[in-house]
A and B are shown apart, each in its own frame.
Chain A
């Protein structure tokens, strides 16, 4: 990751893409806390972190090296092919010039440009629908890799790696047809450049006789052909000289004009269309290349977001809980039936909280108790009367917290008899779900047990 040459950058992206495909096929992301940590500490946008993670995965360095080798091989193959095309163009031009004396101008032009234009037309037609030639291209590439692999210095034995899919990914993944198109156009451009080089070299250092000959055509037809073909060179400001009266051009100035015309024609008909096509393909390839492996909505990438771009970080415990004192055990006694004079109050009650109608009970009802004043008044009342039995009615939905426990104990300290906690409004609690209700009731039971009080659920008719 130290060198950021284009090859290294591309290899990183290929490595990342490879990992994504593997993880998507697996259905889950691979686990590597070290790689995740490296990605998170690298920071930056998600894509950068994903790439960082891929390069920090175990075994990634070997794979990255292999990919770089593969890319370097691809580049070397492309350069070799370009050189080959260049020399082929040179050779074809030379042999076309030397094929006959005098050299036929239309024949030389046709041999240098004809096949080129034909294949370009074919390529354009094929763009409309047929499968891109990238399959053939990747087969060739794969073949070359297999041939050359054993001669390359390898960091590790990578026999188990699937070269096929890697090469497919490089060729078709990165822009498929535009990759193939760029390569093909570049090759033809090299071919044309080679032929232009040969033509200008040979026409500069040798004296050629040039001809405009026909066996079949009438002189008028030949004339119109020549005018038609001269349209291209005219674009470059080179006007065609008049056709020679005799078939062979002999006049020195005419010869010079016709050889300039030939060069211009090869340039316009051979190099120009290919250069335009190459430019177009290269632009499309570039945009595909830029987008390659950069779509973070792909499931394989999107599922990494939470891991690599955490939106929160825990700070842990700031203020630790004190050790919890063991709950004092007091034996649970069966609730005795409530009868006779009973002091009652509705804890956290509303103003209309009346005493629950219970047979055998003569209520001394203290009413609703909520704020500090009413709490203190209730305690004072119990103390004054030296009360016997006490019933604390409380809504079952209330959380049995320490505040309630402390106050209930305060009340219990003022009476001589048993205390009973009566849970009202159980229906409202049950409406929150059976499990929640059960939990809450058992918490109340635990509270009552801790305090040594009885507990009962009030029947629903009590609430009017």
Chain B
């Protein structure tokens, strides 16, 4: 059963360690507060509630940075008469003039901590632990609230993470969380909440509900992202462009190329929107994109090469060649499917589809389709982007993984689910007069294959 009031958590720490960034990452809202690599960017206390349904489970309070804990310690030591216990001393300090206003920021932090159930102490792990940090921790501990140190920037190259952990243990803080606000990892987030729950055992129900809600949201997000990519793949694979036989095939190719590039851009936009990705945010996570676009369009041979996809021919096969490639890939894939017992339906599709282009040729049409290498690139690229979005930039530090298949497909299942669409021009929104656009039976196998290809990243 959830308590009526949300769990109150103060986010505290030395100035410029990424408290507001932590809040932004936990709320997935890149517009909260103000963030910069400077001291005292946040000077007031701002609250944000994390919701489960319509009810708040957690209230997070972003506080100004602690800048002069040593000065506050001196003030506390100078209190006359001395306070009976540390909490009383803090309460008296907060209620007073806090050193003629010199320690206004520190007083705000302590006041908020006294109102809260627990605090997250954000640490910039790139900096070694100093006396000022120890003083801060002593000061915060005097408030009598559980404190969970959060090591930020832990994914950076040169961190003092181990030194921090040692020193924290010496100060009696044995539970800490690694949570990089730039390199988001949903497992780290779960651990953060679980550790908080273990510090606040009576409020565990709220954390459990929040974690369940987050897991459901993430699953829904992955579903929606896979669906968007599946629509792109179905559109691309089933796309056909027809033209009179006399028309220059290059012009037709260009048309197909433009449509495909626009469809891919729409998919990228959709993914960025789903992940509430803000290109204008302060220090946006690194993605394999530049300014929200792929640098090379999907039919660029250079783009294929960059993903290790080998292709001997031009990306688009035109006219007769298009038909040949179409029939070739169709027959190899469908042949394999037939051998596995998917039999009659596939054979019927082959007959139904490849009869018509012949008829068109006989009538004097030429027809272009997107070739398989380009489809492979589309799927690999979008999966790459999705993985990067799911890990918020972590992928950027990984080298581009060489595709396991020489054809460039992420998985054989995704290949067969995509190639299957080629026999159904009515499934592509890029085709004029397509009447079964984004049909369930086209998208379902694609979504399943995409999710399987995503593997552990999505779990």
Contacts and interface: CB of A to CB of B under 8 A. Distances in A.
Interface of A: 27, 40, 43, 46, 129, 172, 295-299, 302-303, 305-306, 310-322, 324, 348, 350, 370-372, 374-375, 397-403, 406-407, 428, 431-432, 436, 439-440, 443
A321 B28 contact: no
Contact of B73 (A46, A296, A372, A399): A372
Given A319-B45, A350-B128, A401 B50 contact: no
Nearest to A400: B39
A192 B43 CA distance: 82
Contact of A436 (B37, B227, B270, B352): B37
A312 B16 contact: no
Contacts of B214: 311
Contact of B45 (A129, A298, A302, A318): A318
Contacts of A313: 48-49, 51, 56
Contacts of B74: 372
A322 B68 contact: no
Contact of A311 (B47, B50, B435, B447): B50
A302 B274 contact: yes
Interface stretch (B129-137, B197-205, B386-394): B129-137
A43, A46, A303 interface centre (most CB from chain B within 10 Å): A303
B195 interface: no
Nearest to A318: B45
Nearest to B46: A317
Given A302-B224, A443-B39, A318 B64 contact: no
Given A129-B352, A317-B45, A399-B15, 4 more contacts: A303-B270, A311-B217, A317-B44, A322-B104
B40 interface: yes
B130 A311 contact: no
Given A302-B274, A312-B27, A401-B68, A370 B46 contact: no
Contact of A303 (B37, B71, B273): B273
Contact of B131 (A40, A306, A372, A439): A372
A168 to B, nearest CB: 9
B246 interface: no
Interface of B: 14-16, 27-29, 32, 36-40, 43-51, 53-54, 56, 59, 61, 64-65, 67-71, 73-74, 101-102, 104-105, 108, 111-112, 126-128, 130-132, 134-135, 157-158, 213-214, 217, 220-221, 223-224, 226-228, 231, 266, 269-270, 273-274, 276, 348, 352, 435, 440, 447
A126 B47 CA distance: 63
B218 to A, nearest CB: 11
A406 B67 CA distance: 10
A320 B39 contact: no
Contacts of A27: 266, 269
Contacts of B61: 318
B135 A299 contact: no
A317, A398, A402 interface centre (most CB from chain B within 10 Å): A402
A401 B65 contact: yes
A299, A313, A397, A440 interface centre (most CB from chain B within 10 Å): A299
B45 A297 contact: no
Contacts of A317: 44-46
22 contacts: A43-B53, A46-B220, A296-B224, A299-B231, A305-B220, A305-B221, A312-B29, A315-B59, A319-B44, A319-B111, A350-B128, A372-B73, A372-B135, A374-B131, A397-B126, A402-B68, A402-B71, A402-B102, A403-B70, A403-B132, A431-B157, A439-B37
Nearest to B126: A397
A129 B59 contact: no
B29 to A, nearest CB: 6
Given A305-B220, A311-B28, A313-B51, A398 B68 contact: no
B314 to A, nearest CB: 30
